[in-house]
Structure 1
Amino acid sequence: MFIGRKEELDFLEAAYASQKAELVVLYGRRRIGKTETLHAFCKEKPHSFYTCTEYTDLQQLRAFSSRILTQQHPAAAYVDTFADWEQAFSAITQLPGTEKKLLIIDEFPYMVKNNHGIPSTLQKLWDQQLKEENVMIVLCGSAMAFIEKEILAEKNPLYGRATGILKMKELDFYEAIQFFPHFSPESQVTAYGILGGIPHYLKQFDDRLTLEENILKHIFTRGSILYSEIEFLLRQELRETTVYNTIIEAIALGNTGLNGIHQKTQIDKSKLSVYLKNLLDLHIIYREFPTVSSPKDQANVQRGLYQLSDHYFRFWYAFVFPYFSELEAGSGHQIYQQVVAPSLNDFVSKSFEKACLSYLRHLNKSNRLPFTFVRAGRWWHKDQEIDLLAFDLDRQRWLLGECKYRNQPMTLSNFLQLQQKGSSATAGKAVSPENVCYYLFSKNGFSEDLIRMSQNTPHLHLIDLPQLLNHSPAP
């Protein structure tokens, strides 16, 4: 069953329905669901769908020609392989039917790898012919750095030719939990905390089993897809995997500042910066800044925190990588009981913040907040931290949020502490108290005194787990 991706499908459908030629670049990290989304998009349409493999250029041309010529193409009566790539790409205009001619080239970087002239050929053909035809070409790829630097960047042949550029991101919280309709609310949040929004990972869990059974069977068992997934991905993208493993593990364990990563890994800072840049280019990590930070702050390489983009990377480096020898020996059950179970709530708490932010963004999109915010995220300064902070365009109205994923109810003191931290975050900004609202999210409900206060405080909103999940804020 195909889940989610409404915005992406709407974007592609709009391009297909347009009255002009379309050249769309769709890209995103591996396992994000690009191919499944494209198959869902073209399911009811006449189309040519070609998936590139790591062939030689001649083999690639033959395979591509075969795919086009088997579509009842008139040239099939005369040739079995086009003479060159210009003829091959041009042939899409002669496919039968009156609908828009739809060509999807999946893993386009593999095609370019052994023929660097293909983007130039396609650019020339687009300028001279295809842009005036009733065609839609989708170039898809997983090599994100290659797509951004070699296809979309200025001075490259296809620069400025794309009529649409769609970077696919992971599913949001509400889409991800649709994979687990039989899980309890707590198990849904925990599964999201472990797997994130990567469809390929979400499909591995079986919601007829418990979370423990899923982790033991689908993560801690040799031969399972998730057991070796991270190692496989890194070897495809990087060479010095031992160095990158050391850096990623340090970040996963909470060493997120540049100095902290340096101290943990003992890698020379100049070299470390290069390794971190490579991980940033591959979107394995990202730099996080306090919500109120300025562009000047964000340009400072010494500032910001390096965070893992993928929930499962965090889980794998926290609970698989450090215990690889024991897992290889078949001690998965012991590792789960002694290491995972006692710390799973703390681990999931970071992902719980993202789920709560997703809730607020849905409310914001449908105009169901006290105001419309333009920026939202975390805030921190020295030893103070606010889980969620958002503000409007003029920075006159603010939203402060606290997220607690623990087995005890959230208390009134938690709210009072948030108010104090909010005063620090808004200091010097002349924010009126009536222009600040509070959203408190709790896994295990709220204390009676906090509930009583919320009943007499219109700007205080309490969201427990059933409300977060069962009352989806999607418009």
Structure 2
Amino acid sequence: MEKLIGRKAEINILKEALTSNEAELVAVYGRRRVGKTFLIGQVYSRNLICEFSGVHNAPVHEQLDNFRNVIAQALNSPIPPAIPKNWTEAFRLLINFSGPLLKKQKAVIFFDEFPWLSSPKSGFLSAFEYFWNSWGSKQENLIVAICGSAASWMIKNIVNNKGGLHNRITRRMRLLPFTLYETSAYLKTKSVNLDQYQILQVYMALGGIPHYLKEIKKGESATQIIDKLCFTKDGLLVNEFKNLYSSLFEMADRHIGVVKALAAKSSGLTRNEIISECGLVSGGGTTKLLDELMESGFVSIYLPFQRNVKKSIYKLADEYSLFYLKFIEHSRTTGQGTWMKKASSQSWKSWSGIAFESICLKHTVQIKQAIGISGIYTEESAWRFAPGKLGQGAQVDLLLDRQDVCISICEIKFSNEEYAISKSYAAELQDKLNIFKAETKTKKTLFLTMVTTYGTKDNIYKTGLVQNEVTMDDLFKA
């Protein structure tokens, strides 16, 4: 059986429900392929009495037929029960099956891909609300776990439900992709022995998605892995992009449009810039669209230093989406050796810098640990200054505003060796610090922090300019 890697905080939340003296309604959400089903199945394996998964775009009668089959299998009866006419009958069937078991033991009922069950006019959600409020919530040995990839639907209809499920969720969690540490640990369980730089290259293309990483075989280099998954005829990720978004969003073309706009602008876009680039209309529809992308983990939002929320910057956060749009979507070459050729191009150099920066933004906990400020309260933000045609602009992709009256300005650089600061780059960095100080009028002490793969080479330009260093090795820590 495949081993459960990482997820310590999430495992603790699920296990706490097992020791509870009350009924538990647990909601787990996160993007497709991130490992929600596996996590719940592993933690609750000994207590699971019924597991049912919704089918995407399936009609109600098919979902009900599938539900009856699951109950029949659990009953192990030669004569299966009749197919329920509606979800109210289906939940009555579930109560009759699980009631006797709950008198003997702690038991888990698991609804996977919950949003797919609640199609328009299906009556599923109202029937589930009645099932939980009238019966489930009174069963002290019962845990009902529900999960779904449509994170925005889960937030709106379950976590923030204004009707019968209002404040009924007892535990909730958003499952994120693996960190670099978890990715490394997972690959080791599969006897995949890659060094950190190789793993980083794979992560830059695939992200920390367990389902993608599962396809990696021992003895393959990062180049071979990316070739196989992204550029061969039957590669898992060749056509994953459209399937990924269409399975999560009803009007996926609008979401894809925003993702493409963000992929083309590595520094990110404000809400108004997204509206302009994508031809959207300002209002609730655009807010909902952006919220859906953020809750599903494809887009991240950053509040600029000393700015209000209206100036927030949206960035593409999904490594695979960025890689797909840059190299797979319009690729004319496929097959063995494709990635080796592309990885020597100038476009690879620009992409690798953007991808590495995105990964660093997700590992700010490790960055703070590396520079010794994990115990200090900090606020993470970005900053950019565009004065116009005549002035000199500047941009900081990550700054840590610290409660100890200091600001760590993080400069992120990807390299296959020690990064050497040249005379011109040193001048550029000093100008950036000066512009930041002048424009923000901050009185705080500025510490320049270099975040690189193999560290920053010691030379006269580094001395006196760089106060802290973070390397790839730091990013791989737990």
Q: What TM-score results when the alignment is normalised by the length of structure 2?
A: 0.81
- Structure 2: unaligned runs, 5 residues or longer: 387-392
Q: Which residue matches 1:321?
A: 329
Please, which of 376, 381, 387 is the counterpart of residue 397 of structure 2?
387
Question: Displacement of 1:141 after TM fit?
Answer: 1.1
Kept in 2, the 8 Å contact 1:28–1:34? The answer is yes
Equivalent AA in structure 2 for residue 403 of structure 1 = I
Is residue 2:289 matched to residue 1:278?
yes
Deviation at 1:341, TM superposition (A): 4.1
Distance 1:77 1:186, change over 3 A: closer
Q: Retained in 1: the 8 A contact 2:108–2:144? A: yes
Q: Which runs of 5+ in 1 are unaligned?
A: none
- The answer (yes or no) to whether the contact 2:30–2:151 under 8 Å persists in 1 is yes
Indicate if the aligned counterparts of 1:104 and 1:137 stay in contact, CA closer than 8 A: yes
Change (3 A) 1:114 1:67: farther
Distance in 2 separating the partners of 1:151 and 1:468: 35
d(CA) in 2 for partners of 1:58, 1:242: 29
Q: Distance in 2 between matches of 1:207 and 1:148?
A: 39
* Closer/same/farther in 2, CA of residues 291 and 241 from structure 1, 3 Å limit: closer
* Aligned position for 1:292: 305
Paired position in structure 2 for 1:37:
39
Amino acid across the alignment from 1:223: D
Q: Which residue pairs with 1:141 in the alignment?
A: 148
CA distance in 1, matches of 2:94, 2:258: 43
Task: Look up the match of 2:408.
Answer: 399
Match of 2:269 in 1: 257
2:67 matches 1:64: yes
Q: Does 1:342 align with 2:346?
A: yes
Distance 1:226 1:124, change over 3 A: same
Partner of 1:27: 29
CA contact (8 A) 1:171 1:197 kept: yes
Greater Cα shift, 375-384 or 194-203: 375-384
Secondary structure at the residue paired with 2:224?
helix
**In structure 2, which of residues 280, 303, 313 is the aligned counterpart of residue 305 of structure 1?**
313
Return the match for 1:372 from 355, 370, 376. 376
Q: Aligned with 2:154: secondary structure?
A: helix
Q: Distance between the aligned counterparts of 1:235 and 1:356, measured in 2? A: 28
Residue in 2 that maps onto 1:191: 202
Quick check: 1:196–1:312 contact (8 Å CA) kept in 2? yes
CA deviations over 1:283-316 (Å, ceiling 9, x no partner) = 465353344244xx32x3xx44332231100000
Offset from partner CA, 1:441-465 (integer Å, 9 cap, x none): 22243222369848xx9x9232333
Tell me the secondary structure at the aligned position of residue 103 of structure 1.
strand
Contact 1:399 1:438 in 2 (8 A): yes
For 1:260 and 1:145, the matched residues in 2 are separated by: 23
* Worse-matched range after superposition: 379-388 or 245-254: 245-254
Name the residue aligned to 1:447.
457
CA distance in 1, matches of 2:343, 2:283: 30
1:157 positional shift: 2.6
Please state if 1:123 is matched with 2:135.
Answer: no
User: Aligned letter for 1:199?
Assistant: P
For residue 441 of structure 2, the aligned residue among 396, 404, 428 is 428
Cα contact 1:346–1:405 (8 A) shared by 2: no
Query: CA 1:442–1:98 in 2, change beyond 3 Å: closer, same or farther?
Result: same
Deviation at 1:322, TM superposition (A): 2.4
- Contact conserved, 1:389 with 1:399, CA < 8 A, in 2? yes
Amino acid at match of 1:320: I
| C-alpha distance 60-237 of structure 1, shift in aligned 2 (>3 A) | closer
Residues 293 and 177 from structure 1, CA distance in 2 versus in 1: closer, same or farther, beyond 3 angstroms?
farther
CA contact (8 A) 2:202 2:225 kept: no
Alpha-carbon spacing, 1:290–1:152, altered in 2? closer, same or farther (3 Å): closer
- Alignment of 1:152 with 2:164, yes or no, is no
Structure with the larger helix share? 1
1:125 partner amino acid: F
User: What is the CA distance between 1:226 and its match in structure 2?
Assistant: 0.4
> 1:186-265 maps to which residues of 2 (within 5 A)?
186-206=197-217, 208-237=219-248, 245=256, 247-254=258-265, 256-257=268-269
Following superposition, the deviation at residue 24 of structure 1 comes to 1.0
Q: Which residue of 1 aligns with 2:81?
A: 80
Shift of 1:274: 5.2
What letter is aligned with 1:37? L
Moved more, 378-387 or 7-16: 378-387
* Letter matched to residue 70 of structure 2: R
> RMSD of the TM alignment (CA)?
3.6
- State the AA in 1 paired with 2:124: I
Q: 1:389 to 1:60 in 2, by over 3 A?
A: same
Contact 1:86–1:122 under 8 Å retained in 2: yes
| Secondary structure of 1:227 counterpart | coil
Counterpart among 167, 170, 174 of residue 163 in structure 1: 170
Q: Structure 1: which amino acid aligns with 2:230? A: I
SS of aligned partner of 1:12: helix
8 Å CA contact 2:228, 2:336 repeated in 1: no
The alpha carbon displacement at 1:142 in A equals 1.4
Name the CA distance, whole Å, in 2 between partners of 1:44 and 1:250: 46
Report the equivalent of 1:111: 117
Between the aligned residues of both structures, percent identity stands at 21
Query: How far apart in 1 are the matches of 2:131 and 2:248?
Result: 31
Secondary structure of the equivalent of 1:3?
A: coil
Q: Distance in 2 between matches of 1:247 and 1:339?
A: 26
Distance in 2, matches of 1:48 and 1:245, equals 36
Deviations 1:17-67 (A, max 9, x none): 212110011111211111111111122334322222255434433433443
